[in-house]
Structure 1
């Protein structure tokens, strides 16, 4: 018997925070034709700084995981249950990094591996990762995501 996603989250010991509110005149998410587009989310606790100077790749991995948990909180808020997620479609990461930093992909693995832990095979997704000279509020990472959902 396969566990529900909600049960799996509990078994993994993941506590979802209250979904954060947008910082301006936009929505946390938009649902169109069975897809939910989640606005960019950073890690909880609002750490500030760049990968490659203030933070290591390993710390960035944890920040990406925390940003993924923020995404899950938005999904739960939007859908009422994570069991309505049919598939993770795409994860896109914007890494606030020094110009010489080269491990963007290892940082975003924190979010990608979380999605696999939570959604199993439905969590395997397409992805892109970019280095950025700056991101909002000097966060170390912003994660943008798209999911197929049951509405």
Structure 2
């Protein structure tokens, strides 16, 4: 087990299996020293724990937890390509999408769930640039979706 996975275990978390793509794409791919993930929804054992819009059917606090799960799924996608999460030199960019009720404007707070998880697990290497975007709807009626780009150390 890697040091990153040891840290996840210390936090009471386990890296999930990489989600099977729902379309004609791969969960992650590497070019040079960078890995780019596809958007990851907060699937838990193949199922979304909640659906709907944040600010309507889903509270911001629930959505923040779901963003954390989506980031964990993104780390699994990175591992599927890198082989070992200890190869991560840094998370370069996180993009978070929040299915939002028309009057909901707290997208950054929701995506903090993903950003905070990456900081807890990777320390300084988890510090990243980020976008948090409100959207009308996401695949499977997921409340959040997270994608990221990481740089590898070797």
TM-score, length basis structure 1: 0.94
Aligned with 2:58 (options 55, 65, 68)? 55
Residue matched to 1:9: 8
Q: After superposition, what is the alpha-carbon deviation per residue over 1:14-47, rounded to whole angstroms, capped at 9, x for unaligned?
A: 1111110111111111111200000000102312
> Residue 7 of structure 1: CA displacement?
2.0
Query: Runs of 4+ in structure 1 displaced over 6 angstroms?
Result: none
Q: After superposition, what is the alpha-carbon deviation per residue over 1:54-77, rounded to whole angstroms, capped at 9, x for unaligned?
A: 011100100100101111111222
Q: Secondary structure at the match of 2:150?
A: strand
CA distance in 1, matches of 2:29, 2:17: 18
Q: Secondary structure at the match of 1:40?
A: coil
On the 8 A contact 1:6/1:81 being kept in 2, the answer is no
- Counting only pairs closer than 5 Å after superposition, residues 1-151 of structure 1 correspond to structure 2 as 4-44=3-43, 45-46=47-48, 47-151=50-154
CA distance in 1, matches of 2:104, 2:26: 32
Equivalenced residues, count: 149
CA distance in 2, matches of 1:31, 1:75: 9
Q: Which runs of 5+ in 1 are unaligned?
A: none
Q: Which runs of 5+ in 2 are unaligned?
A: none
TM-score, length basis structure 2: 0.92
On the 8 A contact 1:64/1:108 being kept in 2, the answer is yes
> Residue 5 of structure 1: CA displacement?
1.9
CA distance in 1, matches of 2:14, 2:87: 18
On the 8 A contact 2:5/2:14 being kept in 1, the answer is no
